[in-house]
Amino acid sequence: MAQLLDGAGKLGWVLLKAVTRFVFMFLNNCVAIPSYCLYLLLLQPLRIWDSSTFWHIEGIMFKWLLAMVSSWGWIAGYTVTEWGDDVRPISEEEAMVIVNHQSTGDVCTLMMCLQDKGTVVRKMMWLMDHVFKYTNFGLVSLIHGDFFIRQGKAHRDKQLVYLKDHLDKYYHSRDRKWIVLFPEGGFLRKRRETSQLFAKKHSLPHLTHVTLPRLGATHVILKTLSAQQENGSVGSETGTPNQSGNKRKGLQWVIDVTIAYPKARPMDIQTWIFGYRPPTVTHVHYRMYPIKEVPVEAEALTDWLYQRFVEKEELLAHFYDTGSFPQPDGHKEAVSRQMTLDPVWLCAIQSFAFVSGYMWYSVLQYLYCCLF
């Protein structure tokens, strides 16, 4: 009987915590997202007069919104430990970021671990499945200039044309630096069987912890944002001017990000919202490749990209066996870094969001009373 009561008490606490978190996040969205939109609406004259300043301000608020999402997991004890290359020194250089995709929690994890990487978050562009357009964050991503890609053979060619047009129109004009994509084109659990059948048919490696990546978006990004050289690799200068009129260097790096969850249990967005899983450390491994080492010709790029995901398979297999990533070449052991967020900064951002929400509510209520 005592055990039953104890179990009921724990369940009651989990439910109470889940409901409290959901109410807080609902209110958080209700004040933060409309405030973001209304501030930008108010600043539209600045967009015409000085677009670089406008997008600078938008980027700061976009980073704050992503920090709010990060805080949801942080409060629940969901943290990130980083491994491999330190990407902070190249945070001001242009890079394409390729990430393995296991669940909706991957996006939340990236929102958290990129917060301390300089201006990356406010100057980044995301490639996401078109379904995300219809979520609470979809409007924010549309305004920010992220690209929503529709999956499936019927849409593939047309989507790649849309992607190139989108990059030409928004990437340079809004001074973007990093572009993030998930080359697998879907969640691991949904694509694993199809990927393995494709690999068997074409004598490709059998992968369990990742799936074979798709080439299309990666190829378009490299060809659009980097200068192609005669040897089939990509160069270091595009000749495209940035907002200040200076010549941009173009993509300088490809950053290979591998996300690993303890016991291969991915964290989904529901977990971040309700917080029903015990405190969990997600592990993120970085590996940087200079852009000059990346081929741009389709066949060579396919082989290069497949090799990166074979390496991801090996990294994840080692992690699930040992609880850590292997040491880099030339090192005796792998060194991890605990990613931290400043709780005072998070509280300040949340306070600003709720104060802004109250201010805009008061303004709109006053205008409504004046008009009606």
Residue ranges covered by each domain of the chain: 1-230+249-324+337-371
**CA-CA distances (angstroms) from residue 304 to 20, 96, 133, 199, 294?**
47, 14, 31, 16, 7
| pLDDT beneath 50: ranges in the chain | 230-232
Residues 364 and 105 sit within 8 Å (Cβ to Cβ): no
Please give the structure tokens belonging to residue 71.
Answer: 């805080």
| Amino acid letter, 336 | S
- What pTM was computed for the model? 0.89
Helices (H), 128-208: 138-144, 153-166, 188-201
**CA-CA distances (angstroms) from residue 145 to 65, 128, 168, 350?**
15, 11, 12, 24
Q: Could you write out the DSSP letters of every residue in 71-140?
A: HHHHHTT-EEEEEES--GGGTTS-EEEEE---STHHHHHHHHHTTTSTTTGGGEEEEEEGGGGGSTTHHH
pLDDT of residue 231: 46
pLDDT of residue 245: 53
**CA-CA distances (angstroms) from residue 311 to 184, 254, 317, 326?**
14, 15, 10, 11
pLDDT of residue 33: 95
Please give the structure tokens belonging to residue 107.
Answer: 């996006």
